[in-house]
Amino acid sequence: MPLALLLMHDPLAGTLLLLALLWLSAKAGGELAVRLKLPAVTGELAAGLALAALHRAWPVVPDVAASPAAELLGGLGVVVLMFAVGLESTVPQMLKVGAASLRVALIGVAVPMAAGLAGAWLLLSAGAPFVLDLFIGACLCATSIGISAQVLREKGAAGSLEGRIIVGAAVVDDVLGLLVLVAVSGLVGAASGGALGPHLVRTFGLALAFLAAALTLGRLATPRLFRLATRFRGEQLLLPFSLGFAFLLAWLGNLAGLASIVGAYAAGLILEPAHIEDLERRERHTLEELVHPLVSVLAPLFFVLMGAKVDPAALFRPATLGFAAVLASLGVAGKYVAGFGAGKDVRAAVVGWGMVPRGEVGLIFVAAGAQLQLNGVPLLSPDVQAGIIGALLLTTVAGPVGLGWVLRREGHPSASPEANH
C-alpha cells in the first residue's frame, strides 16, 4: 500500500498532527513569554488563544478545544502537575509553617474572595446567580508559588524570612483554596438540586473526610506500598509506583465527589522522602527529577487547551476587558493586603507581591468551573470565562513584575532564621 494512502487510513494521523501543533505552539509561546520577562504559562495560554483564533479564521487548522486527545492529555497534565505541587511539601512541613504563614494564607484567601465576590456582584447582570459570584471570588483566592519562587531565586531572596513565609503561606493557601473550590462546587450542585444545606454539608464533609483519611491512613499505607516496591526485581519502579499511587488517590477523590486534582495533590503531600529513599538510591534519581519531565511535557498542553477554550472575540470585547481589569485589580489588592498579616520586622510589600500570581492554580479552578452546570446550563458563559482568564493572566504578569520591583527598591529582604512571628 502506498505511504500516502496508508497515512490517509491511519486513525492516529490527525491526532499526531494535532499534538505536534500543541507542543510546538506551547514551546513557542512559552519562549516568547520568557524573552519578554513574563511567566511561561502566559505564553502557553496566548498560544492556545492564537490557535482558537486561527481555527475560526481558517477551519483547516485543527480545533484544539474540541479534541478528545487534547482533553485527555491536558487532563493528565493537570493531575500530574497537582501531584508535583503536592510533592513540594509534606504534612510535617505544613504543621511547621508558623503563625505568620498561617495568617498570610487566611487573609490571602478571605480578602481576595470577598473582593471578587463583591466585584462580580456589582459588574455582572442583575440576574446572575449568587453561586457564580461566589465562584469568581474563589478563583481570586488561589496562589501560584512557582512563579514567585523563581523571582525570589533570581534575586537571591529564596532563603530569606519573607521567602519562607511566602512558601509556607502558599502551601496552606493550596489546601484552603481546594476546600473553597469543593464548597463552591457543592453549592452549585445544591442550587441545582434544591436542598442547599444538606447537599453542601455532605460535599464539604466528604472533602474533609477524604483529606483526613488521606493524611492519616494514607501516610500509614504509603511506606508499606513502597517497601513492597523495593522487593520487585525489575528496573524503573519509582515513577510507575508513584504515578499509580497518585492516580489511585485522584480516582478515590473523584469517587468521593471531589475534583481529581484534590486526590492527586493529597498523594504528593503524603508521599514523604523517607518513604521512597530506598528506591531513589537504587535508581539514582529523586522522584521530583523523574516527575519533572512529565510535568514539562503534559502541563503545557493543559494551558494551551485552556487558552483555546476562550473565545477570542469575547476576550477582546471592551466589557470583558473591563471586567478582567477590575477583577485583576481586586485580586492584586487582596493578596497585597495579606502581606501585612506576616507581623512585625517582615517586609509586608515583599510578602504581599509574592502572593499575587495566580498562574496554573487559578486556571485549574477555571477548568473545574467549566465542568459545573447550574440547572442544566454551564455555570460559566464564554464572556465570563474569558473575563476570569483575562484577570488571572493580568495577576500572573503583575505578580513577578511587582515582586521584582519591590526587591530592587528595598534590597534583599531580611534573612532572619525564624519565620514564626
Residue 278 has pLDDT above 80, yes or no: no
The pLDDT score that the predictor gives to residue 28 is 92
Q: Taking the domains of the chain in order of start, what are their residue ranges?
A: 77-294+311-410
Digit-coded pLDDT (tens) for 162-176: 877 887 787 677 677
Contacts (Cβ under 8 Å, ≥6 apart) of 251: 260, 263
Q: Residues 259, 177: contact at Cβ < 8 Å?
A: no
CA distance 271 to 291: 13
Residue 198: the pLDDT is 60
pLDDT of residue 420: 42
Least confident interval from 196-205, 315-324, 341-350: 196-205
Amino acid at 83: F
pLDDT at 143: 78
- What is the rounded CA–CA span in Å between residue 189 and residue 181? 12
pLDDT digits (tens, 9 = 90+) for 48-70: 888 888 888 888 778 887 888 88
Residue 270 host element (H or E): helix 260-270
Contact 112/334 with Cβ under 8 angstroms? Answer: yes
- Whether the pTM exceeds 0.75: the reply is no
**Alpha carbon distance 266, 85 (integer Å):** 10
pLDDT tens figures, 358-390: 766 777 778 778 777 777 778 888 888 888 888
Q: Which three cell numbers stand for residue 416?
A: 532572619
Q: Is the pLDDT of residue 6 over 60?
A: no
Mean pLDDT (whole number) for 406-421: 56
The grid coordinates listed for 275 are 518513604
Which of 11-25, 187-201, 343-357 is predicted least confidently?
Answer: 187-201
* Residue 309 clears pLDDT 70, i.e. is over it: yes
Query: pLDDT-derived band of residue 9, with 50, 70 and 90 as boundaries?
Result: low
Q: Which CATH architecture has domain 77-294+311-410?
A: Up-down Bundle (1.20)
Kindly tell me if the per-residue pLDDT of 414 is higher than 80: no
Q: Which residues contact 93 (CB under 8 A, 6 or more apart)?
A: 168, 171
**pLDDT averaged over every residue in the chain:** 77
pLDDT score for 234: 64
Q: What is the pLDDT of residue 336?
A: 92
Check pLDDT > 50 for residue 416: no
| Nearest-10 Cα torsion for 184, 185, 188, 192 | -150
Distance between CA atoms of residues 222 and 239, nearest Å? 14
Ramachandran angles phi, psi of 222, nearest 5° = -60, -50
| Tens-digit pLDDT profile for residues 123-162 | 887 677 888 888 888 888 877 766 676 667 666 676 677 8
Higher pLDDT pick, 355 / 156: 355
- Residue 3 confidence class, pLDDT cut points 50, 70, 90: very low
Q: Where are the alpha helices (DSSP H) in 316-381?
A: 318-338, 348-354, 359-370
Between 88 and 339, the more confident residue is 339
| Whole-angstrom distance, CA of residue 333 vs CA of residue 331 | 5
CA angle 142, 334, 177 (to 5 degrees): 20
| pLDDT tens profile 26-42 | 999 989 988 887 777 77
- Return the pLDDT at 270: 79
Q: How confident is the model at residue 192 (pLDDT cuts 50, 70, 90)?
A: low
